[in-house]
Amino acid sequence: MFATKRLGKELSKMQSGLPNGIELIKADDFKEWLLDIRVVDANPIYQGEVYRIKFMFSPNYPIEAPEVVFVQDESHPIPYHPHIYSNGIICLDLLDRTGWSPVHNVESVCISLQSMLTGNTKKERPPGDENFVRSNTQRPRDINFVFHDPHV
Amino acid sequence: MSSPSPIPPPNDRRSSRASSNASQPGPGSSSNATSSLDVASEPSDLLVVGGPPSSPSPLALRASNSPSSKRRKSRVEKIPPDLHLLEYVSPCDSNLVCLICHAPFGKPVRLVCDHYFCRDCLDHAWEAQQDGHKTCPTCRNRVDVDREPLSVPRILENMLDELVVKCPNSRLGCEWSDQRANVQDHVMLYCEYTLVECGSYDCRFPVSQKDFHKGCLHYTVNCEHCHTSLMRRDLEEHQTTACPNKSTSCPHCATEVLRVELKAHIKDVCARAIVPCPGAIVGCTFVAERTEVWLHERSCPMATMAPHFREQQTRLERNEAKLEPLARRVVILEDGLSNITNMLYPANDNASSFPVTNPLDPNNADAFPPAPLVPTPDFRLPPASLHDSLREEVSRIATALTEVEGRASMMIINDGQRFKDELLHTNANINNMRVQLHWLMSTTLQQRTANSASNSTSGRAGSGATASTSAPSGSTTQGAARNRSGAAGPGVTGHSPFRRLSDSTRQDTKL
Ligand SMILES: [Zn+2]
Ligand SMILES: [Zn+2]
Ligand SMILES: [Zn+2]
Ligand SMILES: [Zn+2]
Ligand SMILES: [Zn+2]
Ligand SMILES: [Zn+2]
Ligand SMILES: [Zn+2]
């Protein structure tokens, strides 16, 4: 109920306008939304690519953090970033249980991800990406990341 | 400067709040209204709810008039409206919005860091914080639980109170909307749609305030039109909005149709319904009322093509559906074929399962039971396809045989050629030797004749004499020569060794 109410408000706000480079793709229910982001500033790593983000909300949103991952399809790759695994899982403190705050919202998360990409200069995956991608069966919200570098 | 007027102007919407507050101490108001009801209803059977004692509320009047309230101690338990769920008539200032629920503050509180939240939202957020200490959701400033949360400036509360909201029962039909400060009174006292407990003796279902006097409507009835069984309370709504066998008017052309047929009417018949051109499947973008589409259809080439395309489409789908079992059959056949190939050419490493033994050897008959030798047919194969694959196999073997045959004859031809070459070579050598032998022999003969000519001229003369007796004298030398050659055996060629040589060379070139 809480989540529905709040997401309804977020949705109507987003439908009336979103920052440049962020686009709402699908929000048919209050469980799963799809948004596209692209890096607006010139960054050769992300030039000309559009990334798709999937939000999954629990009924306790926004008290509980949403699960946010990049999803891959023919036209949407997983962006290269030292904190984004090649299966789309994002290691970002504000999406973690302890880093999340209910004052965040879908739009602010998108903006955070966008600026996280904009500021990146290394076209690489996190260390141990292959192992992690091969062995991980957990959902993003159950993973306890160690946030080595809070500034990225 | 701006001294508050002691008596609120009669039009002030907050007046009702003031009046409801009058009956109880403190400005806490909202949550206390329920308890005031309880307190009020305790002492007497007559229900007195809120409001100034001089002017009984309509509810109180109605409740006192209702016979059921006399029969039992009626307790009207109404739930006060949840400020979080209110619907606001116009979008409100973003400064009045709680960052957690994204709605105007319910009951706002302030933290030391000057961040504002609804009391409820803050409690929710803190509940989820596992590590015990409470922080500000916005800035993560540690909260001092003894002092915080703080109260908010009066002006903020006033601004919130002035926001215009709809009645929480608006979905049930109430059209009231007014300042938020009045919503509590409206819901608790005046709203006809607020749910109360049914007045019937043993019924605990909720009923709208306006239906309270109708008595209990919580029994099952059958709709006389569609025979669905439903609660009496819902019957009217069912018949006006849902019953499939009640007639309703088409929203487009106002024709009366049964509700159950309305969809079909709009989809296929209704002249005023907005429909796309039938050529839409080919790409026509014309969308209009059906009558206009009919006119358009006559001139639209795509609409003319559409049935054809649709037919092609269905044919395509049919074929695709057929293709699938065929593909499955091909897989089965391929399996069968490879099975047969395995039977016919058992791999060497499979020697244990396909023992290479002489089947005629009686000693081995027991050692290897015949079962594994007999090819076990794949039972998924229908006999016809088994036959087919066998035939294919046979023709394959036939081709292989022809190929082997061709290769063998080629080999024989090649070998024959080589032998022939060698033979010719040998022949030439023999001829050479023969020539040399002749030459040697003829030289030896000449030497010998020269010797014997000088030694025995008489003998030769004698023989010449005998010859001359029977032959003309001119042929004496010839006859002598003939005799000599007759004596020498191969003397026929003796006179012409060089001719033979040339002969042999000619033969060489011919070969
Ligand atoms: Zn709130
Ligand atoms: Zn704060
Ligand atoms: Zn109402
Ligand atoms: Zn009842
Ligand atoms: Zn009916
Ligand atoms: Zn119609
Ligand atoms: Zn058309």
CA distances from B379 to A69, B11, B337, B339 (A): 50, 93, 13, 11
A102: exposed, middle or buried (Cβ count in 10 Å: 0-12, 13-18, 19+): buried
Classify strands B229-231 and B220-222 as parallel, antiparallel or unpaired: antiparallel
CA distances from B455 to A54, B236, B462 (A): 134, 167, 14
Catalytic site residue from A37, A91, A92, A113: A91
Which of A87-91, A148-152, B54-58, B332-336 has the least mean pLDDT? B54-58
Q: Is the pLDDT of residue B433 over 80?
A: yes
Residue count (chain B): 511
Most confident of B215-219, B433-437, B475-479: B433-437
Nearest by Cα to A132 from A122, A123, A120, A145: A145
Size of interface A-B (CB pairs under 8 A): 40
CATH class of B220-269: alpha beta
Nearest by Cα to B171 from B81, B299, B93, B90: B81
Q: Is the pLDDT of residue B87 over 80?
A: yes
Q: Given pLDDT bands bounded at 50, 70 and 90, which one contains residue B388?
A: confident
Give the residue-averaged pLDDT of B367-386. 53
Q: Is the pLDDT of residue B76 over 80?
A: no
Q: Given pLDDT bands bounded at 50, 70 and 90, which one contains residue B55?
A: very low
CA distances from B58 to B20, B206, B372 (A): 14, 19, 98
Residue B190 Cα to ligand 3 midpoint, Å, equals 7
Give the residue-averaged pLDDT of B432-454. 89
B53: exposed, middle or buried (Cβ count in 10 Å: 0-12, 13-18, 19+): exposed
CA distances from B90 to A10, B86, B101, B103, B172 (A): 16, 12, 17, 12, 21
Residue B158 has a CB neighbour count (10 Å cut-off) of 11
Domain parsing of chain A, residue ranges = 2-129
Mean pLDDT estimate for chain B? 74
Phi, psi (5° rounding) for residue B258?
Answer: -65, 145
Q: DSSP letter for B223, please.
A: -
Nearest by Cα to A110 from A42, A51, A43, A28: A51
Whether residue B393 contacts residue B341, with contact meaning beta carbons closer than 8 Å, is answered with yes
**pLDDT tens, residue by residue, B96-122:** 999 998 889 989 999 999 999 999 899
Domain parsing of chain B, residue ranges = 83-190, 220-269, 288-382
CA B283 to chain centroid: 26
Which of A55-69, B12-26, B139-153, B420-434 has the least mean pLDDT? B12-26
Q: Given pLDDT bands bounded at 50, 70 and 90, which one contains residue B2?
A: very low
**pLDDT tens, residue by residue, B451-471:** 887 766 554 444 444 444 444
d(CA B507, CA B511) in angstroms, rounded, equals 6
**pLDDT on residue B40:** 40
Chain B environment of A9 (Cβ under 8 Å)? 102-103
Query: Among 3.40.50.300, 3.40.190.10, 3.30.40.10, 1.10.286.10, what is the CATH number of B83-190?
Result: 3.30.40.10
**pLDDT tens, residue by residue, B151-197:** 999 999 999 999 999 998 888 888 999 999 999 899 888 888 888 87
B138 and A101 in contact by Cβ < 8 A? yes
B103 and A103 in contact by Cβ < 8 A? no
Phi, psi (5° rounding) for residue B179?
Answer: -60, 150
Angle at B469 between CA B466 and CA B471, to 5 degrees: 110
Whether residue B113 contacts residue B137, with contact meaning beta carbons closer than 8 Å, is answered with no
CATH class of A2-129: alpha beta
**pLDDT on residue B479:** 44
Whether residue B109 contacts residue B152, with contact meaning beta carbons closer than 8 Å, is answered with yes
Domain B83-190 shares a fold with domain B220-269: yes
d(CA B6, CA B169) in angstroms, rounded, equals 34
**pLDDT on residue B233:** 78
Residue B110 Cα to ligand 1 midpoint, Å, equals 12
Give the residue-averaged pLDDT of B385-413. 90
Q: Is the pLDDT of residue B60 over 70?
A: no
**pLDDT on residue B380:** 53
Q: Is the pLDDT of residue B383 over 80?
A: no
Nearest by Cα to B188 from B180, B179, B178, B196: B196
Chain B environment of A10 (Cβ under 8 Å)? 102
Q: Given pLDDT bands bounded at 50, 70 and 90, which one contains residue B412?
A: very high
Q: DSSP letter for A81, please.
A: B
Q: Known catalytic residue: A110?
A: no
The shortest C-alpha distance from A103 to chain B (Å) reads 5
Percent of chain B predicted with pLDDT > 70: 66
Nearest by Cα to B22 from B44, B53, B60, B48: B53
This prediction's pTM:
0.48
Owner of token pair 């023989």: B463
Q: Detail the DSSP E strand segments found in B177-299.
A: 177-179, 195-197, 206-208, 220-222, 229-231, 247-249, 256-258, 274-276, 287-289
Give the residue-averaged pLDDT of B371-394. 66
From chain B, which residues contact A within 8 Å (Cβ)?
Answer: 84-85, 99-103, 121, 124-125, 127-128, 130-131, 137-138, 140
Owner of token pair 């409001």: B51
CA distances from A115 to A42, A81, A112, B139 (A): 12, 12, 5, 20
d(CA B511, CA B506) in angstroms, rounded, equals 9
Q: Given pLDDT bands bounded at 50, 70 and 90, which one contains residue B205?
A: confident
Give the residue-averaged pLDDT of B70-75. 44
Mean pLDDT by 10 residues, chain A (152 residues): 86 90 92 93 89 93 91 92 90 85 93 92 88 78 60 49
Task: Supply the ipTM of this predicted assembly.
Answer: 0.82
**pLDDT on residue B357:** 46
**pLDDT on residue B355:** 46
**pLDDT on residue B26:** 41
Give the residue-averaged pLDDT of B385-408. 90
Helices (H) and strands (E) in chain B, counts: 17, 12
Element (H, E) at B492: none
Cβ within 8 Å of residue B180, ≥6 positions away: B83, B86, B104, B160, B161, B162, B163, B164, B165
For residues B210 and B1, the model is more confident at B210
**Number of alpha carbons in the 13 Å side-chain half-sphere of residue B117:** 25
**pLDDT on residue B46:** 43
For residues B34 and A131, the model is more confident at A131
